[in-house]
Amino acid sequence: MPLDHYITLGRSGLRVSPFALGAMNFGEDPPGAGCSVEESEKILSTYLDLGGNFIDTANFYTNTHSEKILGDFFAARPGRREHVVLASKFFFNLFPGDPNGGGAGRTSIINQLDETLRRMRTDYLDLYWMHNWDRTTPIEETMRTLDDLVRAGKIRYLGFSNTPAWVTAQAQTLALLRGWTPLIALQVEYSLLARTVEGEVAPLARDQGMALTPWSPLKNGFLSGKYRRGAEVTDSARTAHVGGPDDDQYRVIEAVAGIAAELGTTSAAVSLAWLRVREGTVVPIVGARRLEHLESNLAGLDVQLSVAHLRALDEISAPDLNYPAPMHGAPRAMLQFAGTTVDGEQSTVYPPLLESDVRY
């Protein structure tokens, strides 16, 4: 699947590439964390030239440098900005000592958006994410403010990131009941090494027609193929901060590597191909500090995993989900359907009883 085989983002008319380009590493502030302006522009140009159109950043990435790199890039190329989907995020406070400098209140959202638009040298964002849940602001204030900004033409679509499912459900219900702009996508951590989103958030997204756009789809680079038991990784900027994989993670990493070797591709490509075929609309965000990282990740568009591959990856990476998820699934049929078959799901009688045993 090429980058220019577009898909609609959730329940919307916004068409995006099957992989988004994450710009978190664009810029070198703090030093060593990202990549130079020159390398950022190489990565961006390659992605766009291949037909990619979905670019994601945030106001605080590389201390705002990421947004400025994107703004300068498109300002130097008149006519290109209108043909891409630019997304950024609000929430993190960039002004020490100012309690209204961040968060999701009306004043802070408006001010953060104005600063983002200035840095990105554009009049509007195609997609604006709430980066985290603001526990001190009523969700109706946040949603009404975002709707006002959509109506003003400053943003066009809305999404949430890193937000509890119950908060997201409340926000979406308010928007639908009051005629405000609804959410079309959720940006979440999701990978073969991080699947707890499947407990609450992913089912909510499917029910409401929201897309999932996974961040860290390679789990801090653990699924990139460069991690091996007993081998030192020297080119990962994150390893020093998060440490290396544990034994359980290595079992998944090794299973991915085995499938990659069988298919003649990379572990990164296999990991991204697995994400791409998850239930619902899933658009992974691929980041890169070097051009070769992008090229390796984009190979995930060409990998076709067999049913056996998918089953093996699903089983070895199966997550332990929080209550009440363990109460659902197969036992439900035994308790609910009493030996009948409903929607193709066959049940048994549990506990064993006869109708004559029922006390009326």
207-218 pLDDT, tens digit per residue, is 999 999 999 999
Q: Mean pLDDT, the chain, as a whole number?
A: 92
Between 236 and 157, name the one with better pLDDT: 157
Q: How far is CA 332 from the centre of its chain?
A: 30
Please report the pLDDT score of residue 359 as a whole number. 59
Residue 255's pLDDT band (cuts 50, 70, 90):
very high
Encoded amino acid at 103, one letter: G
Residue 233's pLDDT band (cuts 50, 70, 90):
confident
Taking only the tens place, the pLDDT of each residue in 331-357 is 555 567 777 887 777 777 666 555 555
Structure tokens given for 230: 């007993």
Please report the pLDDT score of residue 132 as a whole number. 97
CA distance 356 to 111: 69
Please report the pLDDT score of residue 1 as a whole number. 76
First to last CA, the chain: 60
At residue 330, does pLDDT exceed 70? no
Active-site residue flag, 360: no
Element (H, E) at 178: helix 165-178
Mean pLDDT, to the nearest integer, of 303-328?
93
Q: What share of the chain is helix, strand, coil (3-state, %, to 5)?
A: 40, 15, 45
Please report the pLDDT score of residue 334 as a whole number. 56
Q: What is the pTM of this model?
A: 0.92
Element (H, E) at 284: none
Phi then psi for 171, rounded to 5 degrees?
Answer: -65, -45
Taking only the tens place, the pLDDT of each residue in 149-208 is 999 999 999 999 999 999 999 999 999 999 999 999 999 999 999 999 999 999 999 999
Please report the pLDDT score of residue 360 as a whole number. 58
At residue 9, does pLDDT exceed 90? yes
Residue 195 to residues 159, 270, 274, 325: CA-CA distances in angstroms?
A: 20, 16, 12, 13
DSSP-based three-state secondary structure for 130: strand
Radius of gyration, CA atoms only, the chain: 22
Please report the pLDDT score of residue 234 as a whole number. 61
Q: Are 73 and 44 in contact (CB under 8 A)?
A: yes
Q: Are 179 and 171 in contact (CB under 8 A)?
A: no
Taking only the tens place, the pLDDT of each residue in 16-55 is 999 999 999 999 988 777 999 999 999 999 999 999 999 9
Structure tokens given for 15: 């068409």
Pairing between β-strand 183-189 and β-strand 155-161 as defined by DSSP bridges:
parallel
Pairing between β-strand 345-346 and β-strand 341-342 as defined by DSSP bridges:
antiparallel
At residue 235, does pLDDT exceed 90? no
Nearest one of 280, 266, 137, 270 to 197, comparing CA atoms: 280
Pairing between β-strand 183-189 and β-strand 7-8 as defined by DSSP bridges:
unpaired
Q: What angle do CA 265, 266, 271 make, to 5 degrees?
A: 115
Which segment of 186-200, 236-250, 262-276, 314-328 scores lowest on mean pLDDT? 236-250
At residue 58, does pLDDT exceed 80? yes
Q: Are 289 and 236 in contact (CB under 8 A)?
A: no
Please report the pLDDT score of residue 115 as a whole number. 98
Which segment of 45-49, 142-146, 306-310, 344-348 scores lowest on mean pLDDT? 344-348
Mean pLDDT, to the nearest integer, of 227-241?
67
Look-up: residue for tokens 């197969």? Answer: 330
HEC profile of 86-129 = EEEEECCCCCCCCCCCCCCCHHHHHHHHHHHHHHHCCCCEEEEE
Candidate list 61, 128, 157, 227, residue with the active-site label: 61
Q: How many Cα atoms sit within 13 Å of 232 on the Cβ side?
A: 2
